[in-house]
């Protein structure tokens, strides 16, 4: 394929060299004479492991060149990768002016060409940037329509400085955001044989994914550093603690707990967070990440209450009372805070949980009910259909298998509030569907 890479900064230089090494004909474009001169001499404009060798080999083979003029590079281009920087604006947002300028030049060149090219944005940008701000610029400059006269896609990069070449060739996956199949297929062909699994999705999802990745990486660094501070005060080797922590790739470093939904609860997480934060305060430590977790959790409980209140219906059925499906543990279950608020405000509330039988609630669980939710026994029903039929608003609060078909039970005038993504919205044939975090 003939590939044009606009922007020979960190991402652009690495992509140009790696793609050229795979046999593509690559032309890099940049306004910097220095960067273009480096590529033309077979040198790297940045310091990065293995990059100089790849550039030199591809330049010598005639597969890699560079220019300062987009219109010189564009004729015959199958794919155009836009890797122009998106620096911070004064208010903390993104400054897209450089990308818009580059896209306008690419569009003008497309307008003069009869060759179908796919324009692929690689610059990091917030959701909606491609379709809302850059696509209109591209279409206006080209005098055509995206998806018809040329392709458009978003392909986030996940390259780490110092290991970017290895990351390019050894990626876990390559994400392609596109609104039409032809654009997605063109980008997939570009990465054939490299970049791990090809994952196709919407442009906005791909834009969001880049930010989620970086935010989570930043969170991990902050979390590990706070653990280090606390461990140091306790006389514990923090590296040994985190080495053992990372050995669990099912719960600690796996997908567990990473699906958006309702607040956490139970007898462990809230209690242990309170205890570790209290210990940190005794040491005089300020640990903002650990200290904010419970406050963040509270916001989700409050959001659920506000969502139900905005519906302005007084008969509410709540399905799933234990903090985790498949258990009967009610201790610090977040939905009970929601129920308590509704009861206190005069709502008529019916409750159901397939695993809660008041005659079998014993020990700490029994004391919790008696002390914290004394209204539960009189409102609890064993028949799911009785709760659904007797409510104007049906709230699903844990993903028990018993609730997967609730959507089919609803009448047209009823409203389903699914806090945990337990019900497929497509199964809600009648009534309204509301989710909390999706």
Positions annotated as catalytic residues are 268
Distance CA 2, CA 7 (A): 16
Beta-carbon count within 10 A of 235 CB: 6
Distance CA 184, CA 118 (A): 9
Check the CA dihedral 377-379-339-423 and report its sign.
positive
Q: Are 358 and 377 in contact (CB under 8 A)?
A: yes
Distance CA 101, CA 111 (A): 16
Distance CA 429, CA 307 (A): 21
Tokens of 131: 């379709």
Tokens of 112: 């003069």
Cβ contacts of residue 327 below 8 Å, gap of 6+?
Answer: 355
193 half-sphere exposure, CB direction, 13 A CA radius: 7
Angstrom CA distances, 281 to 271, 276, 332, 365, 374, stand at 16, 9, 23, 30, 34
Number of helices followed by number of strands (H, E) in the chain:
17, 13
Tokens of 23: 């046999």
Q: Are 408 and 430 in contact (CB under 8 A)?
A: no
Burial tier of 218 (Cβ tally within 10 Å: 0-12, 13-18, 19+)? exposed
């Amino acid at each position: 394929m003939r590939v044009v890479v606009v922007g020979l900064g960190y991402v652009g230089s690495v992509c140009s060299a790696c793609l050229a090494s795979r046999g593509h004909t690559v032309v890099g474009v940049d306004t910097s004479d220095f960067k273009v001169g480096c590529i033309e001499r077979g040198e790297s404009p940045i310091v990065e492991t293995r990059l100089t060798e790849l550039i030199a080999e591809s330049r010598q083979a005639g597969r890699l060149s560079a220019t300062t003029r987009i219109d010189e590079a564009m004729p015959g281009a199958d794919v155009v990768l836009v890797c122009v920087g998106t620096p911070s604006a004064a208010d903390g947002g993104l400054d897209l002016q450089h990308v818009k300028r580059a896209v306008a030049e690419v569009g003008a060149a497309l307008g003069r060409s009869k060759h179908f090219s796919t324009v692929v944005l690689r610059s990091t940008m917030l959701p909606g940037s491609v379709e809302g701000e850059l696509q209109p610029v591209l279409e206006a400059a080209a005098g055509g329509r995206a998806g018809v006269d040329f392709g458009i896609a978003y392909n986030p990069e996940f390259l780490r400085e110092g290991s970017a070449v290895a990351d390019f060739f050894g990626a876990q996956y390559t994400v392609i955001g596109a609104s039409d199949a032809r654009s997605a297929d063109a980008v997939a062909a570009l990465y054939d044989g490299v970049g791990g699994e090809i994952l196709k999705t919407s442009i906005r999802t791909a834009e969001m994914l880049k930010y989620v990745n970086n935010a989570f990486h930043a969170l991990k660094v902050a979390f590990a550093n706070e653990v280090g501070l606390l461990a140091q005060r306790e006389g514990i080797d923090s590296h040994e603690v985190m080495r053992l922590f990372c050995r669990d790739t099912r719960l600690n470093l796996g997908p567990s707990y990473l699906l958006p939904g309702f607040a956490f609860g139970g007898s462990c997480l809230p209690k242990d967070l309170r205890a570790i934060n209290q210990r940190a305060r005794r040491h005089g430590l300020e640990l903002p990440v650990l200290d904010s977790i419970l406050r963040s959790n509270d916001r989700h409980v409050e959001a659920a209450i506000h969502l139900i209140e905005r519906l302005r219906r007084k008969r509410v059925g709540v399905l799933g009372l234990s903090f985790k499906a498949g258990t009967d543990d009610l201790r610090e279950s977040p939905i009970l805070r929601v129920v308590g608020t509704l009861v206190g405000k005069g709502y008529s509330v019916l409750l159901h949980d397939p695993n809660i039988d008041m005659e079998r609630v014993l020990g700490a669980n029994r004391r919790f009910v008696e002390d914290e939710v004394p209204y539960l026994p009189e409102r609890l029903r064993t028949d799911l259909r009785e709760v659904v039929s007797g409510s104007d608003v049906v709230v699903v609060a844990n993903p028990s298998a018993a609730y997967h078909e609730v959507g089919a039970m609803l009448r047209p005038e009823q409203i389903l509030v699914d806090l945990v993504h337990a019900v497929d919205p497509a199964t809600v044939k009648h009534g309204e569907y509301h989710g909390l975090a999706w």
